[in-house]
Amino acid sequence: MDESPKKELAVRRNTSSHLHRKEETPSWHLGAPVDIFFRSSPCRIVVVNAQELDHPIIYVNLIFEQVTGYRADEVLGRNCRFLQYQGSFAKTRYPLVDIRILTEICRCLSEGFDFEGERLNFRKGGSPLMNRLYIKPICNDEGIITHFLGVQSFKEANFDLSPLRGLVWKKSSGAIHTHILGDMYSQKPLFVHRDCSFKKCCPLYKVSDEVLVVNILARLTPRDVTSLGSVCHRFYNLTKDESLWKLVCQNIWGQETFSILESVARRRRLWWGKIVRELTTLEAAAWRKLTVGGSVEPSCINFSVCAVGSKVVLFGGEGVNMQPVNDTFVLDLNEDCPEWTHINVNSAPPGRWGHTLSGLSDSRLVVFGGCGRNGLLNDAFVLDLDEPQPTWREVSCSTRPLPRSWHSSCILDGTKLIVSGGCTDSGALLSDTFLLDLTMEKPVWKEINVSWRPPSRLGHTLSVLGNHKILMYGGLATSGPLRLRSSDVYIMDLSEEETRWKYVTGSMLPGGVSTCNSAPPPRLDHAAVSLPGGRVVVFGGSIAGSRLETKVYILDPMEEKPTWRILYVQGRQPKYASGHSTCLVGGTRVVVLGGHHTEDWMLTELHELCLINLKGTD
């Protein structure tokens, strides 16, 4: 084969004489196995660009045009999957196309292996072709995959295309199933060729893979799906199907979590099976240190942060001379070299510290309360980061909750701000809960009336569980004449008609000692993060006796008897973590800003608790 770089497409002249190129010809070196295909019957050749989104076709040969009926100009720039659609107007692939083969193709493409197998394709007119496909990755001189070469030989497919006639499993005679029995995470897949000889007495075999996956398996929990892998070959292969894991994630953790994880998965080319596993077991949780550029100046403490997509947004704080500031800074963690950028906003809210900053849906965020220049505040401002000129806009309401600082807040459904507790001007602690629905034209603060309230407190956390439950934990709570650190957990279900706070665990007396050894010591100003599935992770904060709190704790409120457990996390933990300077980015990384009050004023050394392994196909 022709191996010199920058030459024309290196194929044997007798298979193709017609070149359609969308871009510059890549330089590459073809390996030996590909020769076998070239020597056999005329074959179709497809080249796709591996570095562009969705792998667009950049070259097809004349045989491809002749066999499939698609002209080159019709297919250049598209992904090859259109070959699985019956007829040029179909929007989804034909049900008999084997999902496992597709999954295996995706896997080989991501990991840079050659793929060889058979696949059902359709001509432009709709008639079927059984496609023997060989895909090889092509690397540039640095070993980075730049293109994929697909060589396809075909034979006519002789089977009935009418839906569900008899056994759906019947394929064209002579087809060999390529079962891949290999650890998804290891580097060496094991190819095992078997004939299909399925027992006809089992009615399950009548159901196609797609129906089985979408309708039945997708309703199971991750553990159930995984344990099905031990049943038989078919089930094992189905549990390797990425589309199954996506559906499982959507079903158990909801569409919002799924969308957040999807952008992370796509960007870092992560496997869904692995994501779901790691978020279930948290086995890959690790502390990492992150150095970023830029700086937050003038430096301040007691600011608040929240996550908006992949960005960390910082607002307010207490600057020099203990004066409140009102700057807005953004740090985009998706950039190669993230750095703090000051945003020039229109009409910034009055400066404040001890406020809450929370992320809404669609790149917006809301700030509430805090201590300003002239006392405590109870105003709310919303900022839309996607605007060309971001502008803070006050939410004008006739009646507002009492002005407060060191309260806690959370966002329900991406649109409703919930605020609870805090400290008033007079120094009294609050125990109320208010809801502000920001979808309304004229939002109105509504107090959530309950028959019984937990003791008033500040420095506690509110976490959202699913769509309609909130969990309150810790804080400095009133206990008679005293104020003591609390370890109590309360949950409220906002979908109930009579909303009430339910005590979950802790000690009924704030500051008391719990009998369970793995329970976290009482604390305030800690970080609390909601994980998919309704679990809560807690760490940091201030605990009694000025000991440094180092452990990470996890609680599953859905258990029958919810119990705190210690989560063992690899890596070095930051010495100090505070609730309002911690946020969960992209559903997978908990970013902790700033060290102790007296350290790291510049905020360039961050810690992050990575919940899953973000290294992609390592």
Partner 1 sequence: MAEDPTAAMAKECKVRLKISDDTIFEVEYAVAMQSQMLKNALSDTGTDGTVPLHNISSEIMAKVVEYCAYHVNAANTISEKDVKIWDQEFLKDLDQATLFNLIMATQYMVIHNLQDLICQTVADRIKDKSAEEVREIFNIQNDLTPEEEEEIRHENQWAFEEEGWPEIQEEVRLEG
**Is residue 280 at the binding interface for partner 1, with CB under 8 A as the rule?**
yes
In one-letter notation, the amino acid at residue 186 is S
Q: Give 164 or 513: the residue with its C-beta nearer to partner 1.
A: 164
Least Cβ distance, residue 463 to partner 1 (angstroms): 20
Gyration radius of the chain over CA positions: 29
Answer for which of 30, 62, 139, 232 binds partner 1 (CB under 8 A) is: 232
Answer for which of 3, 23, 35, 224 binds partner 1 (CB under 8 A) is: 224
Least Cβ distance, residue 240 to partner 1 (angstroms): 10
**Is residue 268 at the binding interface for partner 1, with CB under 8 A as the rule?**
no
Answer for which of 277, 400, 469, 526 binds partner 1 (CB under 8 A) is: 277
Judge whether 10 and 28 are in contact, CB under 8 Å. Answer: yes
Query: How many residues appear in the chain?
Result: 618
**Is residue 202 at the binding interface for partner 1, with CB under 8 A as the rule?**
yes
Report the SS3 class of residue 373: coil
* Spatial distance between the Cα atoms of 364 and 385, rounded to a whole number of angstroms: 6
Q: Which residues contact 211 (CB under 8 A, 6 or more apart)?
A: 95
- 422 CA to centre of own chain: 32
> Which residue is it, tokens 């404040």?
352
Least Cβ distance, residue 50 to partner 1 (angstroms): 28
- Measured N-to-C along each axis, helices 272-281 and 242-268 cross at an angle, to the nearest 10 degrees, of 90
Answer for which of 221, 263, 431, 507 binds partner 1 (CB under 8 A) is: 221
Judge whether 359 and 417 are in contact, CB under 8 Å. Answer: no
**CA quadruple 235, 241, 243, 245: dihedral sign:** positive
Least Cβ distance, residue 276 to partner 1 (angstroms): 11
Answer for which of 316, 510, 520, 574 binds partner 1 (CB under 8 A) is: 574
Q: Give 105 or 248: the residue with its C-beta nearer to partner 1.
A: 248
**Is residue 85 at the binding interface for partner 1, with CB under 8 A as the rule?**
no
Piece of the chain touching partner 1 by CB under 8 A; list 47-55, 176-184, 263-271, 310-318: 176-184
* Spatial distance between the Cα atoms of 529 and 539, rounded to a whole number of angstroms: 9
Least Cβ distance, residue 548 to partner 1 (angstroms): 7
Least Cβ distance, residue 484 to partner 1 (angstroms): 26
Piece of the chain touching partner 1 by CB under 8 A; list 58-66, 177-185, 319-327, 346-354: 177-185
Piece of the chain touching partner 1 by CB under 8 A; list 148-156, 223-231, 410-418, 472-480: 223-231
Piece of the chain touching partner 1 by CB under 8 A; list 16-24, 421-429, 440-448, 566-574: 566-574
Q: Give 7 or 165: the residue with its C-beta nearer to partner 1.
A: 165
Show contacts with partner 1 in window 156-175 (CB under 8 A): 162-166, 168
* Spatial distance between the Cα atoms of 556 and 489, rounded to a whole number of angstroms: 11
Give, rounded to a whole angstrom, the gap between the first and last alpha carbons of the chain: 32
**Is residue 551 at the binding interface for partner 1, with CB under 8 A as the rule?**
yes
**Is residue 546 at the binding interface for partner 1, with CB under 8 A as the rule?**
no
Q: Which helix (H) or strand (E) covers residue 105, if one does?
A: helix 99-111
Judge whether 9 and 58 are in contact, CB under 8 Å. Answer: no
**Is residue 597 at the binding interface for partner 1, with CB under 8 A as the rule?**
no
Least Cβ distance, residue 386 to partner 1 (angstroms): 36
Cβ density class 177-192: b for 16+ within 10 Å, e for less: bbbbebeeeeeebeee
Q: Write out 203-262 in H/E/C secondary structure.
A: HHHHCCHHHHHHHHHHHCCHHHHHHHHHCCHHHHHHCCCHHHHHHHHHHHHHHHHHHHHH
Environment class of residue 316 by beta-carbon count within 10 Å: exposed (0-12), middle (13-18) or buried (19+)?
A: buried
Answer for which of 1, 513, 568, 615 binds partner 1 (CB under 8 A) is: 568
Would you state the structure tokens that stand for residue 121, as one six-digit string? 């394709």
> Which residue is it, tokens 């807690």?
538
**Is residue 191 at the binding interface for partner 1, with CB under 8 A as the rule?**
no
Q: Give 62 or 220: the residue with its C-beta nearer to partner 1.
A: 220
Would you state the structure tokens that stand for residue 519, as one six-digit string? 């329970």
Least Cβ distance, residue 214 to partner 1 (angstroms): 9
Least Cβ distance, residue 513 to partner 1 (angstroms): 22
Report the SS3 class of residue 263: helix
**CA quadruple 102, 107, 109, 114: dihedral sign:** negative
Answer for which of 76, 207, 494, 509 binds partner 1 (CB under 8 A) is: 207
* Spatial distance between the Cα atoms of 489 and 508, rounded to a whole number of angstroms: 10
Among the listed residues 176, 217, 212, the one whose alpha carbon sits nearest the alpha carbon of residue 197: 176
In one-letter notation, the amino acid at residue 56 is P
Least Cβ distance, residue 281 to partner 1 (angstroms): 4
**Is residue 5 at the binding interface for partner 1, with CB under 8 A as the rule?**
no
Q: Give 53 or 202: the residue with its C-beta nearer to partner 1.
A: 202
Number of residues that bind partner 1 (CB under 8 A): 54
Answer for which of 36, 90, 176, 231 binds partner 1 (CB under 8 A) is: 231
Piece of the chain touching partner 1 by CB under 8 A; list 62-70, 72-80, 281-289, 471-479: 281-289
Piece of the chain touching partner 1 by CB under 8 A; list 28-36, 291-299, 408-416, 573-581: 573-581
Long-range CB pairs of 593-602 (<8 Å, 24+ gap) are 593/305, 593/312, 593/314, 594/301, 597/301, 601/299, 601/301, 602/295, 602/296, 602/297, 602/299
Answer for which of 228, 343, 397, 509 binds partner 1 (CB under 8 A) is: 228
Q: Give 163 or 616: the residue with its C-beta nearer to partner 1.
A: 163
Q: Tell me 486's DSSP state.
A: B
**Is residue 110 at the binding interface for partner 1, with CB under 8 A as the rule?**
no
**Which positions touch partner 1 (CB under 8 A)?**
162-166, 168, 181, 183-184, 199, 201-204, 206-207, 211, 215-217, 219-224, 226-233, 235-236, 277, 280-283, 548, 550-552, 565, 567-570, 572-575
